[in-house]
Amino acid sequence: MQPLLQHHDYDRLRRDFAWSLPARLNMADQVCGDWVAHSPDRTAIIEHNGSLHPVTYGELGARADRLAHALAAKRGERVGVLRTQSAWTAAAHVAIWKSGAISVPLFKLFGEEALRLRLGDAGITTVITDPEGRALLAPFDLRVIVPEEDGLRDAGSFPTAATTAEDPAVIIYTSGTTGSPNGALHAHRVLTGHLPGVEMSHDLLRPGEDVLWTPADWAWIGGLFDVSMPALALGIPVVAARMPKFTAEGAADLIRDCGVRNVFLPPTALKLLKAAGTTIPGLRSVASGGETLGAEILAWGQDAFGLTINEFYGQTECNMVASSAASMFPPRPGSIGKAVPGFDVAVIDADGHPTDAEGDIAIRRGAASMFLGYWNRPEATAAKFRGDWLVTGDRGVIEDGYIRFVGRDDDVITSAGYRIGPSEIEDVLLKHPAVAQVGVVGKPDPVRTERVKAYVVLRDGFAPSDELATALQDHARRLCAAHSYPREIAFLDTLPMTVTGKVMRRELRKIAVAEIKGET
């Protein structure tokens, strides 16, 4: 399919854009079937596993057909995909969608209880996995398919189910950063809904020139719908690589070996590259999302990549709704860009009305990437909306069209009458040469309501000390503000992180509360 954004005039794109969704829509056709019909020899996936192995759309389609025949899934059946980046992973989703069933990506690093929760909640009885995954699934009463080992027979082409844009296609579980994970149920329109934001964050993708890669696992919305499926739909080769552990050297080698031109690097990956002093020339675009980067990382990106890192914003329930785009408008450090064409993004007050003041970042109903609802949780679905607006749970301000992220609704710190967003303080502390990672939270205080506390992981060569803590406080006071610098600093070996690389501030708050109670 053709890119949805055709030029770099942002205001014109916003004015003229309208969603165009056909009555019949199946993502299997978008990412594979249409290309098989017209360009079967075109490279779809470049597998990197010690050596390079290109996989064409024709080969991908043949794999999907063999899997679909083996599955014999019923329409609406939920089928798990417990795999990392590979051509078979893409074929698994295509096979499930062709069948009219619902794919449920599962993360290979999940423990037994995390898998049990998701398998049980979605009612999954069949999982497509790899040889390693077969062992992980041994404790469960499931039908397990391992395409590399199970000798799938060639039974010819498999007919694609006649689905609509609104028919359910995929359940993606939230990371559970604010409670138990919910299964966000998305329709076949979700891929189309991602395209304008993906294109914008890469300064308009160029079929025939670009090659995409991300270290983010395809079990999460960031890897699956920010990179792999949009790339396949647009005819842009996507690199599938197994990286058991992200390293700066490994990432740089992979980008060079595979001819990667466009990358989505989560903030954690960028920080690791920065800490290693890695520079990667030759890239055309670098996109990042998941948390705000701040001026320090953006300035480093100019030196390391020779370009501006484009930040984007969204969440599992409605993704790629805002983005920076250096080719369309100048970046503004501290902001997450502007609303993507096709999305009405606003900051609303408690009554659901747009406001110029700080409020809740929200997206108006009608966007193509908006979920159908939480699987089997109608009350939680209803609570996600305020009138016509899906409320993200993030706080922000819109200034001149730029959306400035303040923090998660439960992350905002109230201290001595001030509302303080932790991201800005974290960015300032990261500028200090001793700091590798940092998480900032509010610690309950009888006088201030909360006091700002920073939990810091130090770089190699630095040791915790009272003198260093004071130096960090002075550094933050100088660069941030007198009311918002951290009154307390603690040193940790590691920070609690989600599987997608976000700092789990709620876990840090638990540590802070335990300190008050004398439990640590």
pLDDT in tens, 86-101: 999 999 999 999 999 9
3-state secondary structure of 45: strand
Residue 418 pLDDT exceeds 70: no
Q: In which element (H, E) is residue 441 found?
A: strand 435-445
CB 171 within 8 A of CB 106: no
Average pLDDT of the chain, as a whole number: 93
The pLDDT of 110-130, averaged and rounded, is 92
The pLDDT of 431-459, averaged and rounded, is 91
Distance between CA 466 and CA 430 in Å, rounded? 18
| Percent above pLDDT 70 for the chain | 96
Residue 408 pLDDT exceeds 90: no
The pLDDT value given to residue 180: 63
pLDDT in tens, 465-481: 999 999 999 998 887 76
3-state secondary structure of 309: coil
Nearest in space to 452 (alpha carbons), one of 479, 412, 494, 499: 412
Burial of 162 (0-12, 13-18, 19+ CB in 10 A): exposed
CB 109 within 8 A of CB 155: no
Instruction: Tell me which DSSP letter residue 335 carries.
Output: B
The pLDDT value given to residue 14: 96
Residue 500 pLDDT exceeds 70: no
The pLDDT of 13-28, averaged and rounded, is 95
Task: For residue 491, list its beta bridge partners.
Answer: 456
The pLDDT value given to residue 519: 57
pLDDT band of residue 178 (cuts 50, 70, 90) is very low
pLDDT band of residue 119 (cuts 50, 70, 90) is very high
Nearest in space to 426 (alpha carbons), one of 453, 464, 460, 395: 453
3-state secondary structure of 184: strand
Q: In which element (H, E) is residue 80 found?
A: strand 78-82
pLDDT in tens, 304-325: 999 999 999 999 999 999 999 9
Burial of 489 (0-12, 13-18, 19+ CB in 10 A): buried
**CATH number, span 22-188:** 3.40.50.12780
Reported pTM:
0.84
pLDDT greater at residue 271 or residue 397: 397
The pLDDT value given to residue 140: 96
Return the CATH class of domain 411-516: alpha beta
pLDDT band of residue 411 (cuts 50, 70, 90) is confident
Report CA torsion sign: 223, 395, 343, 173: positive
Residue 131 pLDDT exceeds 60: yes
The domain spans of the chain are: 22-188, 411-516
- Catalogue the long-range contacts made by 20-24 (C-beta closer than 8 Å, 24 or more residues apart): 21/165, 21/189, 21/192, 21/368, 22/165, 23/164, 23/165, 24/162, 24/163, 24/164
3-state secondary structure 204-267: CCCCCCCCEECCCCCCCHHHHHHHHHHHHHHCCCEEEECCCCCCHHHHHHHHHHHCCCEEECCH
Instruction: Flag the least confident range among 20-24, 41-45, 213-217, 243-247.
Output: 243-247
pLDDT in tens, 180-233: 679 999 999 999 999 999 999 999 999 999 999 999 999 999 999 999 999 999
Residue 485 pLDDT exceeds 60: yes
Nearest in space to 248 (alpha carbons), one of 270, 218, 281, 223: 270
3-state secondary structure of 190: helix
What is the CA angle 100-104-106, rounded to 5?
155
CA 407 vs. chain centroid, Å, equals: 17
The pLDDT value given to residue 421: 73
pLDDT greater at residue 291 or residue 378: 378
pLDDT in tens, 249-280: 999 999 999 999 999 998 878 988 998 999 99
pLDDT in tens, 337-347: 999 999 999 99
